Amino acid sequence: MRIDVLTLFPNMFSGVFNESILKRAQEIGSVQYNVVNFREYANNKHNTVDDYPYGGGAGMVLKPEPIFNAVESIKEDTKSTPRVILLCPQGERYTQKKAEELAKEAHLLFICGHYEGYDERIREHLVTDEISIGDFVLTGGELGAMVVIDSVVRLLPGVLGNEESPVQDSFSTGLLEHPHYTRPAEFRGMKVPDVLLSGNHKLIDEWRRKQSLKRTYERRPDLLQSFNLTDQDKKWLEEIKKERSLF
């Protein structure tokens, strides 16, 4: 996969792309990063990328020319048609399902804005996806792009090492993930559940499934509304609800 990022602050990505999983993904050849300062594509001697909004109002608006020029240059150089992703509060709420969809692409291009907003022609004629990472406002799109890129790159084959890891993540299955424990079996009087020490994989799988259902019911019951429950899931969920009603 190739990932291009258009930003006015390219140095923000240096540490992110050169640490941990994102660095490993690049080292093994799963992804190639290219960070571009779109100020370099401005059409004036001062490299101006923003201007006052027509009709008046607070703040400055990103001009169309630098971003159009940068996107067109990347398309010409790569001879490809990337998914062009705009990070903005008006975009669709980002989900694991969207991450899985984007992970199937060969080329992603992220546009990170600043100031009051974008010239609308950027949305209408360049962008394929508008994404918001939550109902809050950041000073720019860089942090949002980092979040999306991290969530996508970790899904690429071979990046995590264990192919089962992303499959079992919270939201990937439709449920929140079950609790995890490791050594020691007892710590300050707090013990690991006996079933996890039993070696009985059938019982362990059942315990984990029930714990996922319980955690989802307690913390994100909205997820259960669209989840396809098995008959056994329904029985466990009834047990969970009865247990809750006793307290």
φ and ψ at residue 226, rounded to 5 degrees: -110, 5
Q: Which is it for strands 186-187 and 117-118: parallel, antiparallel or unpaired?
A: unpaired
pLDDT for 62-104, tens place per residue? 999 999 999 999 999 999 999 999 999 999 999 999 999 999 9
Q: Which is it for strands 117-118 and 61-62: parallel, antiparallel or unpaired?
A: parallel
Q: Which domains does the chain have, with CATH numbers?
A: 2-153 (3.40.1280.10), 168-245 (1.10.1270.20)
Predicted model pTM: 0.88
Across the range 12-18, mean pLDDT stands at 97
φ and ψ at residue 62, rounded to 5 degrees: -65, 130
Across the range 178-192, mean pLDDT stands at 95
Residues belonging to the binding site for S-adenosyl-L-methionine are 113, 133-138
Whether residue 167 is predicted with pLDDT greater than 90 in this model: the reply is no
Please pick, among 169, 177, 206, 233, the residue that the annotation labels catalytic. 169
Dump strand ranges (E) for 82-215. 83-93, 107-112, 117-118, 129-132, 186-187, 190-191
List helix spans (H) across 80-163: 96-102, 120-125, 142-153
Please pick, among 53, 89, 123, 233, the residue that the annotation labels catalytic. 89
Q: In this structure, is the dihedral angle defined by the CA atoms of residues 52, 53, 58 and 62, taken in order, positive or negative? A: negative
The residue that leads in pLDDT, 169 or 112, is: 112
